[in-house]
Amino acid sequence: LMPLLEIKNLHFRIGATNILCGVNLTIKKGEVVGLIGPNGSGKTTLFNCISGFSKIHTGEIILAETEITHRAPHQRAHLGLGRVFQNCGIFKEMTVLDNLIIALESRQSWSSRILPWSSQSKTNIATAQGYLKDIGLHEKAKDKAGSLSGGQMRLLEIMRALAYGAELFLLDEPTAGVAPKMKEDVAELINKLQELNQTALIIEHDITFIQKFCDRVLVMNEGKIVLDDTPQGVRADPLLHEIYFGKTEGYSSPRK
């Protein structure tokens, strides 16, 4: 399988402070990969670099065989990158249904967008309604998205990335601040993405969640990926315990 995402020797710094120090990473189509590490280890910065919100200093980022290192965030989204933010990036003043319709329209040509009663427009409404049914939000289709709970917003945002045509989902703590019942719904949707052979990189603190849904787990520490293994392998590795509870030094490349 060709890699969907390749990152080569990525460096990012703020002033004289190195935040990412030579990150190398390959993710294949259909993989669900967890990303863990202590606060300040560089996880969100890595997401910002992949999605184009932070400008890298050196290195290369390749998405679906296209180099995207210096492309703008919206260009990366058009190439299939779907970023789901920790603090929800949905349009809160719009209806729940319109949030999905606008994502579907964004993928289409101008001609089909200008004609509100075109067959394409009717197809979009039907598709969006189907997506809402999949995540149990069809009864809230006409409500403002801002009225949803945190967990429902998370579901809508993941579905919006799918509607936009995302092939690689970057999920930043998808279960943070979500009620336990909704956590199950978010987990179920990630499971559904797996069944659709979608690809995801997930920052998550809940190790049980990571164990259940991820094929691989990457551990970041001090701007580097220091472990890359199965969830079981990572959990059993003494280095994980050292990173969280003791001092670690001298690990410059991932242990496999």
Full domain range(s) for residue 48: 3-245
pLDDT, position 68:
95
Residue 225 forms part of a structural domain: yes
Q: Is residue 251 part of a domain?
A: no
Edge-to-edge strand order for the sheet containing 81-84?
81-84, 168-172, 199-203, 32-36, 216-221, 224-229
What domain count does the chain have? 1
List of the chain residues with pLDDT < 70: 86-88, 108-120, 247-256
The answer to whether residue 75 is domain-embedded is yes
- For 120-163, write each residue's pLDDT tens digit: 678 889 999 999 999 999 999 999 999 998 889 999 999 999 98
Answer whether residue 240 is part of any domain. yes
- The pLDDT, as a whole number, for residue 106 is 80
Q: What is the pLDDT of residue 179?
A: 86
How many C-beta neighbours within 10 Å does residue 96 have? Answer: 27
120 occurs within a structural domain: yes
256 domain residue, yes or no: no
pLDDT for residue 88: 64
pLDDT tens track for 214-224 = 999 999 999 99
pLDDT at 255: 60
Residue 250 CB neighbour total at 10 angstroms: 5
What pTM did the predictor assign?
0.87
Strands 17-28 and 3-14: antiparallel
CATH code of residue 38: 3.40.50.300
Predicted local confidence at residue 4, as pLDDT: 95
Is there a domain that residue 254 lies in? no
Residue 86 lies in a domain: yes
